[in-house]
Amino acid sequence: MQFRDLKKQYQVLKQDMDAALTDTAASAAFIMGKPVKELEAELAAYVGVKHCVSCANGTDALTLALKTWGIGKGDAVFVPDFTFFSSAEVVSLEGATPVFVDVDKDTFNLDAADLEEKIGETVAKGELTPKVIITVDLFGLPADYPRIRKIADTYRLLILEDGAQGFGGEISGKKACGFGDISTTSFFPAKPLGCYGDGGAVFTDNDEWAALLDSYRVHGKGQFKYDNVRIGMNSRLDTLQAAVLKIKLKAFREYEVADINRAAARYTEKLQGKVKTPVVPEGYYSSWAQYTIRLDSKEQRDALQAVLKEQGIPTMVYYPTPMHDQTAYKNLKVPVGSCPVAEQLCHTVLSLPIHPYISEEDIDSVCEGILTFIAKK
């Protein structure tokens, strides 16, 4: 059993995928070839925004957004405490300071009430200037944008949507990567829409920001690549990855998101009431980057993971350490207990195998292993 079966996906898409790879090799246009612009147009249309600027990876996508806004030393950027390291790492790389915010116990996404409290505390201290809220659409579910947008407007903050796991999710029909002032995603192979290496994209409706993003991703270029008007980056999406993503995006739109939702529904049907299953609020739609259950304790979680491993069932813990407790951020001296939900989740969450091509038999096997374990305990 595969945790996320990319081999099976390739077999299903093999004919079109092989043709796309061969066409790219034959063209020899390996950097910024025609498929890159075609993909950007398709992604922008899918999300429902004016501009999509592709780049080398999801971390660079976040960095490009912060550079476009001129975020730097003395600025505060609010980041969920329960997320992958890059969501905060990019803030520090620009010289700004991440302020960690607790998450909701049901959705695992940024807690709006704690966000407002942390903004107020930051303003009261007067040491940093609040500038940006980085939301994370964790495990495929968009964050609480209706509430977060109100807070952002109140304090005149920008929203940077980290949609690395959320691409394909929705709120009331509006697609993820369309909620931020600038939004980003990652095409890391295991993401809901993944390529065959690294890749990322940035989305915005702002014409000026889109032009800056395009400049920053190619060494701060001006009218042409040898006209360098600002200090930028080397962060372009390879033509080969764009060709792969064009094939995958078609499958993603046509059936993959629907199929992975059916898989998630089967998990929930069998596990609900036995363990804490994921919550999808009314009006929300998840792209299920992960299907993540909660156990009662770290000991129970670790024991279940070990039992499932013995049965050949792969699982993952996302994430074992809250952001504020990472070694790299010890210098911030975040008080113990400042993000209690994040700390608890790190000890109790377990992600199960899920992907658009998983069989009902595999889901049933995973559930049987979990239910047998729970019954014995």
For residue 105 the two structure tokens come to 């116990």
- Are 177 and 161 within 8 A, CB to CB? yes
Provide the pLDDT for residue 293. 98
Q: Are residues 59 and 203 in the same domain?
A: yes
Cβ-Cβ contacts under 8 Å for 166 (sequence gap 6 or more): 136, 137, 138, 140, 141, 142, 176, 177, 185, 192, 287, 289
**Phi, psi angle pair for 313, to nearest 5°:** -105, 115
Q: Are residues 237 and 264 in the same domain?
A: no
Starting at the edge strand found earlier in the chain, the sheet holding 129-136 runs 51-55, 200-204, 182-186, 158-162, 129-136, 75-80, 97-101
**Phi, psi angle pair for 233, to nearest 5°:** -135, 170
**Phi, psi angle pair for 21, to nearest 5°:** -65, -40
Rounded CA gap, 17 and 243, in Å? Answer: 8
Report the number of distinct structural domains present in the chain. Answer: 2
On whether residue 1 sits in a domain, the answer given is no
On whether residue 209 sits in a domain, the answer given is yes
On whether residue 25 sits in a domain, the answer given is yes
Q: Are residues 78 and 165 in the same domain?
A: yes
Tens of pLDDT, residue by residue over 25-80, are: 999 999 999 999 999 999 999 999 999 999 999 999 999 999 999 999 999 999 99
Rg (CA), the chain: 21
Provide the pLDDT for residue 224. 87
On whether residue 18 sits in a domain, the answer given is yes
On whether residue 300 sits in a domain, the answer given is yes
Rounded CA gap, 349 and 355, in Å? Answer: 18
Strand 51-55 and strand 200-204: the pairing is antiparallel
Provide the pLDDT for residue 49. 98
Provide the pLDDT for residue 46. 98
| Residues of the chain with confidence (pLDDT) below 70 | none
Rounded CA gap, 182 and 207, in Å? Answer: 11
For residue 7 the two structure tokens come to 């081999």
For residue 219 the two structure tokens come to 């060494």
CATH number for the domain that contains residue 226: 3.40.640.10
Q: Are residues 40 and 128 in the same domain?
A: yes
Q: Are residues 156 and 270 in the same domain?
A: no
What is the percent of the chain where pLDDT is above 90? 98
Rounded CA gap, 335 and 353, in Å? Answer: 35
Provide the pLDDT for residue 377. 75
Provide the pLDDT for residue 225. 84
On whether residue 319 sits in a domain, the answer given is yes
End-of-domain residue from the set 248, 276, 305: 248
Q: Are residues 277 and 222 in the same domain?
A: no
On whether residue 297 sits in a domain, the answer given is yes
Q: Could you list the residue range(s) of the whole structural domain that residue 201 is in?
A: 6-100+108-248
DSSP strands (E only) in 192-306: 200-204, 284-285, 291-294
Among candidates 351, 355, 288, which has minimal Cα distance to 319?
A: 351
Q: Are residues 79 and 156 in the same domain?
A: yes
Q: Is the pTM of this model over 0.85?
A: yes
Q: Are residues 318 and 193 in the same domain?
A: no
- Are 135 and 148 within 8 A, CB to CB? yes
Cβ-Cβ contacts under 8 Å for 128 (sequence gap 6 or more): 74, 75, 76, 97, 99, 122
Q: What are the residues facing 110 on neighbouring strands?
A: 103
Q: Are residues 224 and 339 in the same domain?
A: no
Rounded CA gap, 275 and 273, in Å? Answer: 6
On whether residue 207 sits in a domain, the answer given is yes
Q: What is the DSSP letter of 56?
A: S
Cβ-Cβ contacts under 8 Å for 79 (sequence gap 6 or more): 87, 88, 91, 98, 99, 100, 101, 134, 136, 323
Helix then strand then coil, in percent of the chain rounded to 5, is 45, 15, 35
DSSP output for 307-359? HHHHTT---B-S-SS-GGGSGGGGGG-PPTTSSHHHHHHHHHEEEEP--TT--
End-of-domain residue from the set 203, 226, 248: 248
Cα dihedral 373, 6, 85, 144 sign: negative
End-of-domain residue from the set 202, 220, 248: 248
Q: Are residues 93 and 64 in the same domain?
A: yes
- Are 284 and 302 within 8 A, CB to CB? no
CA dihedral 24, 27, 29, 32 (to 10 degrees): -60
Q: Are residues 200 and 77 in the same domain?
A: yes
Q: Are residues 130 and 191 in the same domain?
A: yes
Provide the pLDDT for residue 229. 97
CATH number for the domain that contains residue 266: 3.90.1150.10
Cβ-Cβ contacts under 8 Å for 299 (sequence gap 6 or more): none
